[in-house]
Amino acid sequence: MKILQLDKNHPLIAEQLQRNGFQITEDHTSTYTQVLEKINDYDGIIIRSRIPLDGEFLRKAHHLKFIARVGAGMENIDTREAEKQNILLINSPEGNRDAVAEHALGMLLSLMNRLFISSEEVKKGIWRREENRGDEIKGKTVGLIGYGNMGKATAKRFSGFGCRVVFYDILPDLSDEYAAQVSLETLKAEADIISLHLPITPETHHIIDEKFIAEMNKNFYIINTARGKNIKTKALVEALKSGKIKGAALDVTEFEKPSFESLENLNEDFKYLLTSEKVILTPHIAGWTVQSKEKLAQVIVDKILNAFA
């Protein structure tokens, strides 16, 4: 079986698959059109986010047996067309769930305890104690929206902080020792902290908008390590200015390019986020640790070997 790998990943992918008889071609520079011209030479393709695999691409990939995405989200793949073409879809959310959970918690702790702000002040010779008084997680209700791999790992971390963890998910009967499943209405009524763990779909696009925020019973913190377009930035900014949202920890933004490699179309709302002391921003790195790079790759290899070896 011949496999085309379109992004740089941990070398164990190529090493282990080659040891098991697969032929691996590395191509980290070809454009969409260039890849499309040669895709029929391959049985499988391994990607991250650099090149979208849309319907046109998949309809011309007559020999493709599988697509493996090193990561969780599959929005850069036309999954419906892949199913029509009997192309197996593989991803690896198990590989970076721990990294995402730790990042979410770390961002919130930094935000609620003003760690970054006070550190920068001290480095400038500014010593302000009362102004940097923190806010504790203990005793608060954390509401997770989405309870897959990332949500469960995040709930496990929060459960050790003496808070109550609840979650909403479209699938039933997911409660476990770390969190209780509730309705979205109950979550809105009780949560002090919201953390998003969702794919981007028509239903989850701008799930956090003016209406959602207005329906929250309490002023709250929000964490997003999922997809930037889950939050309507304009609504977020208005809520930060009014105090309805007490702080935002954002690893993703509405203005990321589809490849997640940079920003585009920055507007006045995003510029507000850049200057607000109520906001922490990181460049879509919640799932990027030394350990997760290897784990993501190993999950992909194991799933490919399980399906085709």
Q: How many CB atoms lie within 10 A of CB 174?
A: 16
Question: 238-295 pLDDT, tens per residue?
Answer: 999 999 999 999 999 999 887 777 787 788 999 999 999 999 999 999 999 999 999 9
| 44 in Cβ contact with 304 (< 8 Å) | yes
Beta bridge partners of 288: none
**Which residue in 69, 103, 197, 284 is the catalytic one?**
284
Contacts of 33 (CB under 8 A, 6+ apart): none
Give the CATH H-level superfamily of domain 96-281.
NAD(P)-binding Rossmann-like Domain (3.40.50.720)
pLDDT digits (tens, 9 = 90+) for 56-103: 999 999 999 999 999 998 989 999 999 999 999 999 999 999 999 999
- Cβ neighbourhood burial of 227 (10 Å; 0-12, 13-18, 19+): buried
Catalytic residue among 48, 69, 227, 254: 227
Domain 2-91 has CATH 3.30.70.100: no
Displacement of CA 74 from its chain's centroid (Å): 11
Annotated catalytic residue within 256, 261, 264, 268:
256
Q: What is the pTM of this model?
A: 0.93
Domain with CATH 3.40.50.720 in the chain: 2-91, 96-281
> Is-catalytic flag, 256?
yes
